Amino acid sequence: MILITGAAGKTGRAVIQALKAKGRFIKALVYHQDQELILRKLGVQDIIVGDMRSHLIVDEALRGVRAIYHICPNMHPDEVQIGGTVIKAASSAGVERFIYHSVLHPQIESMPHHWHKLRVEEMLCESGLSWTILQPAAYMQNILTQWDQIVDQGIYAVPYALDKRLSIVDLMDVAAVAAIVASERGHEYAIYELCGPELLSPYEIAAKLGQKLELEIKGIALSIDLWEQKARNAGLSTYAIGTLVKMFRYYKLHEFRGNPQVLGWLLGRSAETFEGFLDRVFPEYGSNSQRDR
Ligand SMILES: NC(=O)c1ccc[n+]([C@@H]2O[C@H](COP(=O)([O-])OP(=O)(O)OC[C@H]3O[C@@H](n4cnc5c(N)ncnc54)[C@H](OP(=O)(O)O)[C@@H]3O)[C@@H](O)[C@H]2O)c1
């Protein structure tokens, strides 16, 4: 059995589906009682509800499992402490495999959510556990949060430079790799960068969205102040806002490039392109924001 932490988030759900397709038995750690239902719908029976910052909860979650896929909640101020708690508990429980969901280029110090993941990677290297680290680029799925604005107003808005290119990746490919490394031998002590085949700027993303939707989609660079105001109104935490602002400042100055070769090698096929991703999500999301979700 494999334990998935952060199981009810978008990464956790994708990883669970990929592992279930391989017939793996899954135990899931979720934060709130109402997230149990999400997991039950995915066919997970063994569910622990609780706070992953708690040693007691993590110890209980690790009881009876042979492997763990650790997903820290996005933009969490305690990522290093959580990583330490989970690694220590996994060592005490004697788990055979520890897979850590990290991020592309964790060595970038000016982005705290990257730098904190590097510290967790360091702890893993020194843990004595048999580990694998996955370092995904930004998910293509992130654009779906602004789908209504894209189709209703013809605007794709980002608070950084429109001409800077970023590596992106389809979360479904990341999940497929998670299931492969969790189920096959030979991935012990590996660190894998997971990037899709293209580097795309926000201008290029807007153009591809326009072609797919047969609409004129304009790439717009929001000011960081305006983005911050919107994020505060939407209820994002102060820590998450501060961390994202640091990331946007980085993206303003630098491109964010990784290498796509490893992902294709692990999948044994070409990784998904952005157009392929749009073809897949289009039937569900479509060109009308008034659809059912
Ligand atoms: N998004 C990307 O493009 C991308 C790319 C590369 C790597 N990553 C990394 O992927 C990881 C997962 O991202 P995600 O967007 O899937 O995460 P997420 O949606 O934040 O999901 C994490 C889950 O953990 C739960 N949670 C929060 N605090 C918890 C706690 N103290 N104890 C137990 N559970 C808790 C959340 O519940 P609530 O919803 O109730 O808070 C949520 O269900 C992050 O570490 C992120 O840095 C993301």
Mutate-to-test residue for ligand 1 from 4, 5, 10, 11, highest number of ligand atoms within 8 A of CB: 11
Whether residue 26 contacts residue 4, with contact meaning beta carbons closer than 8 Å, is answered with: yes
Q: Which helix (H) or strand (E) holds 108?
A: none
The model's pTM is 0.96
Phi-psi sector, 226: left (phi>0), alpha (psi -120 to 50), beta: alpha
By residue count, the chain amounts to 293
Helix axes 224-233, 238-253, angle to 10 degrees: 160
Give a three-class secondary structure readout of 199-213. EECHHHHHHHHHHHH
Taking Cα atoms as reference points, which of 134, 137, 140 lies closest to residue 276? 140
Query: What tens-digit pLDDT sequence spans the chain (293 residues)?
Result: 999 999 999 999 999 999 999 999 999 999 999 999 999 999 998 999 999 999 999 999 999 999 999 999 999 999 999 999 999 999 999 999 999 999 999 999 999 999 999 999 999 999 999 999 999 999 999 999 999 999 999 999 999 999 999 999 999 999 999 999 999 999 999 999 999 999 999 999 999 999 999 999 999 999 999 999 999 999 999 999 999 999 999 999 999 999 999 999 999 999 999 999 999 998 888 776 544 44
Q: Are 101 and 36 in contact (CB under 8 A)?
A: no
Closest ligand 1 atom to Cα of 141: 3
Q: Left, alpha or beta for 102 (phi > 0: left; psi -120 to 50: alpha)? A: beta
Residues with CB under 6 A from ligand 1: 6, 8-11, 31-32, 35, 51-53, 71-74, 101, 103, 113, 136, 138-139, 142
- CA separation for the pair 149, 38 (Å, rounded): 27
Residue of the CA atom closest to atom 44 of ligand 1: 74
Collapse the DSSP code of 179 into the 3-class scheme (helix H, G, I; strand E, B; otherwise coil) and give the result: helix
Q: Using CA atoms, how far apart are residues 101 and 191, in angstroms rounded to an integer?
A: 10
Q: How far apart are CA 22 and CA 25, in angstroms?
A: 9
Residue nearest to atom 11 of ligand 1 (CA): 74
**How far is the CA of 155 from the CAs of 43, 261, 290, in angstroms?**
38, 32, 17
Residue among 31, 166, 168 whose CB has most ligand 1 atoms within 8 A, to mutate:
31
Name the closest-CA residue to atom 27, ligand 1.
Answer: 73
Q: Of all protein residues, whose CA lies closest to atom 18 belonging to ligand 1?
A: 9
